[in-house]
Amino acid sequence: MSSRFPGLSSIRLKGLALFLLALVVPAASASAADEPDLIFRRSTVFKWMSPNDKLATYGLDDPEVEGVACHFTVPEKGGFKGWLGLAEEVSDISLACRQIGPIKFKASKMEQGDDMFRQRRSLFFKKMQIVRGCDAKRNVLVYMVYSDRLIEGSPKNSTSTVPIMPWGPADANVQKCGEFFTQ
């Protein structure tokens, strides 16, 4: 193989193949149901020859707790690196979660701090996570968003709470989150 590509060893070619595979596989494995809904984008920094930097607001339903929706806003890098998906996104993410209907737990038991949603924020090393927990004393669901890196974490985070309340007169039996979370 090195005779066809002078100066490239088989190790470098294998590394290049793995790199290209890493670009293709995440895009192919993501399904539409796993993706949050884009609500709107707003440009924040104008770029002459490439896409602008933006703030994007997304909405998603909690897959394990019916009746709860979260909205988060993330910065999206513009420029050529952002357009190609090579820019590392910053960790400034805001979060708001609300009760949007009667709350019903789909899982019989969940762990405190379980992932509700994960998304890559850079090509290899950074991901954003929304995790959920339960404040059993106050019967409140607690959601936290943060980003982490393979090498070093990020202290930037945001928290939102959802008190579990009756949803109309037909919802007399309010579930207690403490019954569905292991401590």
Contact 56, 38 (CB under 8 A): yes
Q: Read off φ and ψ for residue 10, nearest 5 degrees.
A: -65, -30
Please give the C-alpha separations between residue 157 and each of 16, 93, 95, 163, in angstroms, as whole numbers. 35, 7, 9, 20
The pairing of beta strand 126-135 with beta strand 140-149:
antiparallel
- Tokens at residue 129, please? 């996570």
Please give the C-alpha separations between residue 91 and each of 40, 117, 158, in angstroms, as whole numbers. 19, 16, 10
Residues of the chain with pLDDT under 50: 1-3, 8, 11, 13-33
In this prediction, residue 87 carries a pLDDT of 59
In this prediction, residue 135 carries a pLDDT of 97
